[in-house]
Amino acid sequence: MTKRKTQPPAEKKGLLSVLPLGSVGQDILRIVADSLQGILRIPVDLLEAEPLPPHTFMEARNQYNAMAIIRFLSENHSHNSFKTLGITGKDLCNPILTYVFGEAYMNGPSAVMSYHRLHQGQTEDPVSREQFLDRVVKVALHEIGHTFNLPHCHTGRCVMRASNNLKELDDKLNYLCDYCELFLFESLKKALDVHRNA
Ligand SMILES: [Zn+2]
Ligand SMILES: [Zn+2]
């Protein structure tokens, strides 16, 4: 082991961070971080878990307000990461939908996703761990796509298709169509330029 003689230059903030909100399985965090890193080709930081902000709990619905969570993440995490994806096992909703798999700011600093409903199979039995994790990755990629300004897509089985239920989620593939990929890399390039000059 050699000791560094000089301190490394001050770390710039990360580009993309994955933040567990509450206790989240390591396999979930790992596959999300690895997949985003592989598809976006940028480094992904895995942050220490923190509790869901209590004010985002909607008692009357027994769910957490996804909009309030992304607002919280934008206010509290954008100083150390360019984009932050929160992951929770709790059920999410927003004021107009009974539940959401995830929510993101278009071209914004934060997104949140929940895997609460992603275990559910067609029968009483949950889906396989493999299928569950596949769904998790699709939701993560979709929401992060929105933070890079990707709108909903209607091409084939592109992951940026809107999915309001598990069937629609299962119908999509864990991939970006050519158009979305091009759009994403343009947006990523712009973001990297801003990031480098920050
Ligand atoms: Zn969407
Ligand atoms: Zn697409």
Q: What is the pLDDT of residues 100-150, one digit of tens each?
A: 999 999 999 999 999 999 999 988 889 999 999 999 999 999 999 999 999
Range of the domain at 63: 15-197
**160-195: pLDDT as tens digits:** 999 999 999 999 999 999 999 999 999 988 888 877
Structural domain contains residue 21: yes
Instruction: Pick the closest to residue 130 from 86, 176, 170, 171 (CA basis).
Output: 170
Q: Give how far Cα 176 sits from Cα of 19, 172, 182, Å.
A: 23, 10, 9
Residues labelled catalytic: 143
Instruction: Pick the closest to residue 184 from 133, 139, 134, 143 (CA basis).
Output: 143
178 CA distance to ligand 2 centroid (A)?
7
Ligand in nearest proximity to the CA of 179: 2
Ligand in nearest proximity to the CA of 147: 1
58 CA distance to ligand 1 centroid (A)?
22
Tell me what the mean pLDDT of segment 87-103 comes to.
95
Domain total in the chain = 1
The CATH number covering residue 104 comes to 3.40.390.10
Ligand in nearest proximity to the CA of 176: 2
The one-character DSSP state at 12 is P
**6-26: pLDDT as tens digits:** 444 445 677 899 999 999 999
Structural domain contains residue 10: no
152 CA distance to ligand 2 centroid (A)?
7
Sheet holding 63-65: strands in order across? Answer: 57-58, 63-65, 92-94, 97-100
Q: Give how far Cα 79 sits from Cα of 12, 24, 195, Å.
A: 10, 23, 12
